[in-house]
A and B are shown apart, each in its own frame.
Chain A
Amino acid sequence: MNKLFTASVLALATASTAFAQDLPQAGSTWFTDGQATIETMLAKQANTGRALNVILFVADGNGVASNYMNRMWAGQQEGGMGDDYVQPFEAFPELALVKTYNINAQTPDSAPTAGAMNTGVKQRFNLINLGENAVHDDCSTVAGNELTLFSELMTQAGKSVGAVTSARLTHATPAAVYAKTANRNWEDAVPEGCTAQKDIASQLVDAMKAGTLDVALGGGARYFVPEGTETPNGGQGGRADGVNLVEMAREAGIDIIADKAELDALDGSKPVLGLIADSHAAYEADRAETEPSLADMTKRAIELLSTNENGFYLEVESGRVDHANHATNAKRAMIDGKAFADAVAMADEMTDDADTLIIVTADHEHAIAMNGYCGRGTPIDGLCFDVAQTGILHTDEPVLAADGKPYTVVGYLNGASSVLVEQEDGTFAAPDGRPDLTQEQAQDIDYTQQVLIPKDSESHSGVDVALYAKGPWAHLFDGTVEQNYIFHVMDYAVNAGE
């Protein structure tokens, strides 16, 4: 019995291999595409060379669901249906899923997650680059718990270091490149009596002076300028301690730029501190032409850093996918997702796969999910339209919920745009049910998705994020990995395994 079974399975296997081309589905494009993918996979070769450069791309809060939304958006913007669109990094040869939890948090925040990528160990909620014995918000636990950063190792190895972000440069993800802090919010001040560490902005300028950070481009100017003093962008400084870090940086021989024209005009002879906004840079949807895009900053950073023949480490963060998700404003999130993909494409174009390891990932996911069942080509920024019986494209009928009302494809579990409204007596209810919704309302740039659980701000989630990679030792990314493993691959790649 057993023998017979084995024999027939073998026969089947042989038949399917030998006669795949004779199957009735063999003429389908799906079938031939599948066959072509086999050839691509067979041709894959591991790059075991030494990585001269490492570029770590992090789209903040851009987990698997957010990334799906961005893919659909980018594809539909090009006139396609979205599903079949391939974002630049989705064509990279290596892929892993990343577990993002923090030492003491099932749901991670952006500080310890970025810290894990930059130090090789998981960290505690809301602090950056301190060991497991440090306590959040407790300055007395800083001393002795400072971790060594990938940027410091790269500096020792003679490489240049850059940090680029569309958030504030002092925000969690870019801060993890250069800072060590018991609280991610100590961006421009530490509590009174705290002498074990400086505020994050001061640490940035210290790192630039020490040469462990050479190019820093992002927002957050007000944290570098005292109250009552104008920022390079014409806004108001916010530092209560009266310290003018911009002046200090200038005196230390660091170029300061505040907009795209100044960024373009840099001669590249000095380290660069770019403060392109007083707080976060604009959402891509709202960005003025005078403000550089994430791709503009990425391009300039690579140009500046690659003048070092020993190579560089660059971290690029798309900071505002996260913010739009927190606001349950899916449309701005997907538009920033496209800007992120454009920055990756720019970096890929400017570098050589032979010597540059490019990693594209996120720090964590959000409480975001997609509704169904929608037909092909349903606009990802609008209502869910029904699956058509014939043909491919969705019908013109929105799918209705049990309450007879349509709903959007993109949904969040919690946030400020709850369908529950606070009543006179303080309870939360929806006496008239869910708000009705038109496609025009749903596709408005300022539309916020209907959510159930009322919260001030939509939350992160602990769901895995994807990681795409190419270049030297990128093949070490495979399977489901811990987030701190990212550091170890970067470190292995620059040392070529030695």
Chain B
Amino acid sequence: MMLTRRSFLGQSPLALLGAGLSTPFLITAAQAAPQAGDAPLKIRDLYDKGAVLSPRARALDGTRIAISGFMAPPLKADAAFFVLTKMPMATCPFCEPGVEWPDTILPVYSKRRVDVIPFNVPIEARGVLRLSEFIDPETGFWSIIRLEDARYARS
């Protein structure tokens, strides 16, 4: 099955995480935390060039954030999981290797079954940003960054 075959980034997530961690923390959580009235984060705020996690993403680990993007067509019906993409993507953005650079997505885990929003409608998701290695037992989906306990709506 496609899901178990592809890791989230199509490259070693551990290597990626390591590359990120070797950079000193430049921003503290307090500085990076969203203030009331702040515009939502964008997916690109989570990555630096070369598809490594940004200091900002690492500083926000474990905090509740708001982030804008699009809902990729869910991989699996009735799951509590979808992939947030930075641009509208009509097909699973990581199922065909190399079509897209991997710093274009953020996996989102919601409390309830995902209510599908068409892939070309801008949405805003809110949840807890989590940076750690995780293999979804249900889908085999491997990620090192994701949004947990999330809610989402059309923006």
Taking A446-B86, A454-B90 as known contacts, 9 extra A-B pairs with beta carbons closer than 8 A to each other, sorted by chain A number, are: A222-B10, A235-B11, A236-B10, A278-B11, A279-B98, A291-B50, A329-B87, A448-B88, A455-B90
Q: Is B140 an interface residue (CB 8 A)?
A: no
Q: Which residues B66-95 have CB closer than 8 A to chain A?
A: 86-91
Verify A168–B50 contact, CB threshold 8 A.
no
Binds B, one of A7-15, A105-113, A250-258, A414-422: A414-422
Identify which of B12, B98, B99, B120 contacts A417 (C-beta below 8 A): B120
Q: Could you say which residues of chain A place their CB within 8 Å of the CB of B86?
A: 446
Identify which of B12, B87, B103, B119 contacts A235 (C-beta below 8 A): B12
Binds B, one of A23-31, A282-290, A369-377: A282-290
Closest chain B residue, CB of each to CB of A168: B98
A283–B87 Cα gap in the complex (Å)?
Answer: 15
A445–B86 Cα gap in the complex (Å)?
Answer: 10
Q: Is A456 an interface residue (CB 8 A)?
A: yes
Q: Which residues A277-307 have CB closer than 8 A to chain B?
A: 278-280, 282-283, 286-291
| Chain B residues in the interface with A (C-beta under 8 A) | 7, 10-12, 15, 42-44, 48-51, 86-91, 97-99, 101, 103, 118-121
Verify B120–A416 contact, CB threshold 8 A.
yes
A102–B37 Cα gap in the complex (Å)?
Answer: 54
Q: Interface size on A (CB < 8 Å)? A: 37
Verify B87–A282 contact, CB threshold 8 A.
no
Given the interface pairs A234-B11, A236-B11, the reply to whether A421 lies near B87 with Cβ below 8 Å is: no
Q: Could you say which residues of chain A place their CB within 8 Å of the CB of B42?
A: 446
> What does the 1/0 interface line of A125-159 toward B look like (CB < 8 Å)?
00000000000000000000000000000000000
Q: Is A457 an interface residue (CB 8 A)?
A: yes
Verify B120–A280 contact, CB threshold 8 A.
no
Identify which of B12, B43, B103, B120 contacts A234 (C-beta below 8 A): B12
A418–B118 Cα gap in the complex (Å)?
Answer: 11
Q: Is the interface of A mostly helix, strand, loop or mixed?
A: loop
Q: Could you say which residues of chain B place their CB within 8 Å of the CB of A309?
A: none
Q: Is A478 an interface residue (CB 8 A)?
A: no
A327–B88 Cα gap in the complex (Å)?
Answer: 8
Verify A422–B50 contact, CB threshold 8 A.
no
Closest chain B residue, CB of each to CB of A327: B87
Question: What is the distance, in angstroms, from A333's C-beta to the closest C-beta of chain B?
Answer: 13
A421–B42 Cα gap in the complex (Å)?
Answer: 22
Q: Is A247 an interface residue (CB 8 A)?
A: no
Q: Is A230 an interface residue (CB 8 A)?
A: yes
Verify B50–A288 contact, CB threshold 8 A.
yes
Given the interface pairs A279-B98, A416-B120, A422-B118, the reply to whether A457 lies near B90 with Cβ below 8 Å is: yes
What 7 A-B pairs are tightest by C-beta distance, nearest first? Answer: A279-B98, A288-B50, A235-B11, A456-B90, A288-B49, A416-B88, A416-B90
Q: Could you say which residues of chain A place their CB within 8 Å of the CB of B87?
A: 327, 329, 416-417, 446, 448
21 A-B pairs whose Cβ atoms sit less than 8 Å apart in the complex: A222-B10, A238-B97, A278-B98, A279-B97, A279-B98, A286-B49, A286-B103, A288-B48, A289-B49, A290-B50, A323-B99, A329-B87, A416-B89, A416-B120, A417-B120, A422-B118, A446-B42, A446-B87, A454-B120, A455-B90, A456-B91
Q: Could you say which residues of chain A place their CB within 8 Å of the CB of B7?
A: 236
A300–B49 Cα gap in the complex (Å)?
Answer: 23
Greatest chain B CB density within 10 A among A220, A287, A290, A454 is at: A454
Q: Could you say which residues of chain B place their CB within 8 Å of the CB of A287?
A: 49
Q: Could you say which residues of chain A place their CB within 8 Å of the CB of B97?
A: 222, 238, 279
Identify which of B12, B88, B90, B118 contacts A230 (C-beta below 8 A): B12
A290–B49 Cα gap in the complex (Å)?
Answer: 10
A231–B98 Cα gap in the complex (Å)?
Answer: 14
> What does the 1/0 interface line of A229-273 toward B look like (CB < 8 Å)?
011011110100000000000000000000000000000000000
A280–B97 Cα gap in the complex (Å)?
Answer: 10
Verify B121–A421 contact, CB threshold 8 A.
yes
